[in-house]
């Protein structure tokens, strides 16, 4: 009896897949803070086009129950992919349309309603092969019996909790951690990227403010030695 040839699985296109899971976030920071990380990357990696950072976007893959059932991180980073897919913005991220490049980092922000960040989603990302999994839980960490900020690294096919903050990720070339800052006139805790020395990458408006302060200090010095900074030769 002749054996049957394996059936070819035809995977759907992102043109026909939903862009997210249509589950609304239950606090503004779930979109706000990942978007800050994205905004920072557009400055840090302004000369690079080989990365993509998605916010609340469906990630479709073949390591789950069905390739049409996505996982939707609050934020994720992929390296070695086009910044713009064929020059256009992505509706969703399908691993099979990205040369099998899975996200190297995913971010989940724990909300009022527990979302299985520490078990079900952790297992999904483990099977998918995500190298770094970040869980940010500033409000409900006592409820969940975890720390407010945890980073897991996939080692020997198992996630291991890492120590240190900001935490340096050599495979990405960035560190990640928390700091208190002012956004839109409101002070709050913010996630940010860091360099290998632990220095935080500044927002463009912070850089502009620093330059303004340096210019004012220079002007004050010039006045102290009798030079009018507004009438330099």
CA distance 74 to 65: 21
Q: Are residues 147 and 227 in the same domain?
A: no
Q: Are residues 42 and 78 in the same domain?
A: yes
CA distance 107 to 192: 12
pLDDT in tens, 61-117: 999 989 999 999 999 999 999 999 888 999 999 999 999 999 999 999 998 777 699
Tokens describing residue 87: 């020059």
pLDDT in tens, 128-140: 999 999 999 999 9
- The pLDDT value recorded for residue 93 is 96
b/e 89-103 (16+ beta carbons within 10 angstroms → b): ebbbbbbebbeeebb
Element of type H or E holding 135: strand 132-136
Its pTM stands at 0.86
Tell me what the mean pLDDT of segment 13-41 comes to: 79
Contacts of 198 (CB under 8 A, 6+ apart): 166, 168, 175
Q: Are residues 217 and 107 in the same domain?
A: no
Asked whether residue 6 is assigned to any structural domain, the reply reads: no
Task: Check pLDDT > 90 for residue 208.
Answer: no
Asked whether residue 88 is assigned to any structural domain, the reply reads: yes
Asked whether residue 9 is assigned to any structural domain, the reply reads: no
Q: Which of 76, 83, 79, 74 is nearest to 46 (CA)?
A: 83
Question: What's the number of CA atoms in the CB half-sphere (13 Å) around residue 20?
Answer: 11
Host domain of residue 82? 14-201
Q: Are residues 121 and 138 in the same domain?
A: yes
Q: Are residues 230 and 185 in the same domain?
A: no
The number of domains in the chain is 2
Q: Are residues 119 and 223 in the same domain?
A: no
């Amino acid at each position: 009896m002749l054996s049957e040839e394996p059936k070819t699985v035809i995977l759907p296109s992102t043109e026909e897949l939903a862009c997210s899971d249509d589950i609304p976030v239950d606090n503004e920071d779930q979109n706000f803070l990942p978007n800050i990380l994205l905004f920072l990357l557009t400055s840090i990696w302004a000369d690079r086009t080989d990365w993509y950072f998605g916010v609340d976007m469906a990630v479709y893959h073949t390591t789950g129950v069905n390739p049409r059932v996505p996982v939707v991180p609050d934020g994720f980073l992929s390296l070695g992919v086009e910044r713009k897919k064929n020059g256009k913005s992505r509706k969703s991220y399908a691993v099979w349309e990205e040369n099998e490049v899975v996200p190297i980092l995913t971010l989940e922000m724990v909300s009022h309603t527990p979302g299985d960040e520490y078990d079900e989603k952790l297992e999904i990302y483990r099977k998918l092969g995500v190298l770094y999994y970040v869980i940010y839980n500033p409000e409900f960490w006592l409820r969940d019996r975890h720390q407010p900020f945890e980073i897991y690294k996939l080692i020997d096919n198992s996630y291991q909790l890492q120590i240190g903050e900001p935490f340096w990720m050599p495979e990405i070339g960035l560190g990640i951690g928390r700091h208190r800052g002012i956004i839109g006139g409101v002070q709050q805790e913010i996630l940010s990227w860091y360099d290998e020395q632990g220095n935080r990458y500044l927002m463009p408006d912070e850089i502009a403010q620093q330059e303004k302060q340096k210019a004012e200090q220079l002007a004050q010095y010039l006045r102290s030695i009798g030079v009018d900074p507004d009438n330099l030769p």
